[in-house]
Structure 1
């Protein structure tokens, strides 16, 4: 395995409907030496279905969900989907889970966003047992299962589980149960401290210090035109911090961006979208994204790794063009190989 693996997180739309290009991008990423290709899921297309498609069109590259939420699928269904992908593509699948946000779970899935940390912990416990082929009997605070077992006994070792988490309570779940951590909108200034705290928490839980791989999803906009790239990044940060509720706002504000976050929130609440985008400072873009020319992005990647990121994952916002995605794939990878885990 390369000492500097890198992943990329795709979506089926950029400046055009790009579903037909996903397999091309995954193949190109495999040729370029990317460690893994990931798919997010919110209210677009089904990530597990698309990952199966990408797996069939590639040979070695890792396949991850970044993320699927623990509300809209039951633990049993998550175990079924993960085991299916793990059996189809042995050694390549990574199950990325998270609680998502109230805006998504209640607004788009019609479910109460109740006790997300408890649900995530109990879901991970159940999914792990089921993916081993065990019969699951659990009476949880949120999730219960009685006598559940996969009908086809898994032949492969269970895939790793990476968790998206931001709050102290959810980070405890990561330290105690996860194989990887998928932070989003984590400023570079916070990586080292978060990595240190995660190592200490893993040891306190009786695990090795390096039990959890730090795999930040990093908003990426690569262009030969710096202005174009920064505009994409600015608008994406403005949208997330304005529209997606207090979860991300509180997290980002905790790294010294209180004034900017409040300005974005206030402008978004007033439905003044352009003012919200303008409130995203240049420092926020520099700290929270890979943005600019390929040389700019490579330098920013180096900073991220030096701070403690094990597996940076390039996350391309929907405002990216296909040309921007293709440029990043062509210019930002470093040689990698071996097991995707």
Structure 2
């Protein structure tokens, strides 16, 4: 497999931030190229990623994703620069508008003009990177500016955008250094890559300068039926209950009836029925779940899509520690 292999971990799977560092050490020893984790309403991502960076030597460090509704653009730049320094330049900043639920019910902000806010946040972050000052006048942010207390690095952390829709992905092509989408079929990903390409053309940029690292969630196990059951439950929940965007995106990729059926089951909070309403063929399109051989084949085919630079693999719900190790070892054979 020519593409790189990233590992996406969930902070809720660990008892201490130090345990994330243990996973990072394991990932590095197995040949993974990068580890990434997201931030919602649990731990701040900085301590676990700092520990992971400190205990590894070559493993890339990323986050999925920080929101300009949850942190000011200047604080996003500070966070990225601190993780850049602690990792010796291995950090990539993941940025995205997040969701109405987290924005409004956790951060207490109105989910207003998310794409504009994200674009302006990128520009402020780059101002700190380049000038050491967040001074900016925009439609969302007006910042008079103070000086960054340290010398900005010559090669600051790249900015990866976690987006789904056509316009948001075009924005990633115009303003980002990478793109980390989620829950795309192979055909759906190829279609959206055209939007990314359009963004790079509008900015007169070379698409090869962006790192495209789509996120997939799966499990490799000799117990094929159990693996598929666990994956089915996770994917169905993401389509029906995890905010509107993933379900809307998969519906637009050709499965509106499936998404509607799953959402109907979620209206009754019937997670078993949600899973039952996810057909095998849709599960197969969205998730690598099955025997180690099947999962390796799925990931290799996904990685072979033109324009994909890395596959970012995340676990599904209900996996044991043995499941996770077995899955990582199965994927390591692709390296």
What is the TM-score with the length of structure 1 in the denominator? Answer: 0.92
Q: Across the two proteins, how many residue pairs are aligned to each other?
A: 334
Cα deviation 1:184-213 (Å, max 9, x = unaligned):
111122122222332243123200132322
1:97-108 to structure 2, matched below 5 A, reads: 97-108=95-106
- Judge conservation of contact 1:86–1:158 (CA < 8 Å) in 2: yes
User: In the alignment, is the contact (CA less than 8 A) between 1:34 and 1:335 conserved in 2?
Assistant: no
The match for 2:312 is 313
Is 1:96 matched with 2:91?
no
- CA separation of 1:123/1:94 partners in 2, compared to 1, >3 Å: closer, same or farther? same
CA distances 1:198-251 after superposition (whole Å, capped 9, x unpaired): 224312320013232210011122222112211221111122222223222211
Gap regions ≥5 residues in structure 2: none
Partner of 2:240: 242
Question: RMSD across aligned C-alpha pairs, in angstroms?
Answer: 1.9
User: Residue 132 of structure 1 contacts residue 157 of structure 1 at CA under 8 Å; is this kept in 2?
Assistant: no
Which range is displaced more, 94-103 or 276-285? 276-285
Structure 1 segments (4+ residues) deviating >6 Å? none
Match of 1:48 in 2: 46
Q: 1:24 matched to which residue of 2? A: 22
Residue 182 (structure 1) shift: 0.6
Matched, 1:120 2:115: no
Deviation at 1:18, TM superposition (A): 6.7
- Note if contact 1:202-1:211 (Cα within 8 Å) is conserved in structure 2: no
Alpha-carbon displacement from aligned partner over 1:248-277 (angstroms, at most 9, x marks no partner): 221110111111100111111222222112
TM-score, length of structure 2 as denominator length: 0.94
**For each residue in 1:23-57, what CA deviation from the matched residue of structure 2 results, as whole angstroms up to 9, or x when unmatched?**
22211211221110001111222112210010111
Higher relative contact order (CA 8 A, sep 6+): 1
Q: Is the 8 A contact 1:5 1:334 kept in 2?
A: no
In the TM superposition, residue 90 of structure 1 has moved relative to its aligned partner by 2.3
Is 1:177 paired with 2:186? no
Q: Distance in 1 between matches of 2:321 and 2:147?
A: 43
The match for 1:161 is 159
1:328 Cα deviation after fit: 1.9
5+ residue gaps, structure 1, are 337-341
Q: SS of the counterpart of 1:95? A: strand
Q: Which residue of 1 aligns with 2:321?
A: 322
Q: Tell me how far apart the structure 2 counterparts of residues 148 and 224 of structure 1 sit (CA, whole Å).
A: 57
User: 1:32·1:335 contact (CA, 8 Å) conserved in 2?
Assistant: no
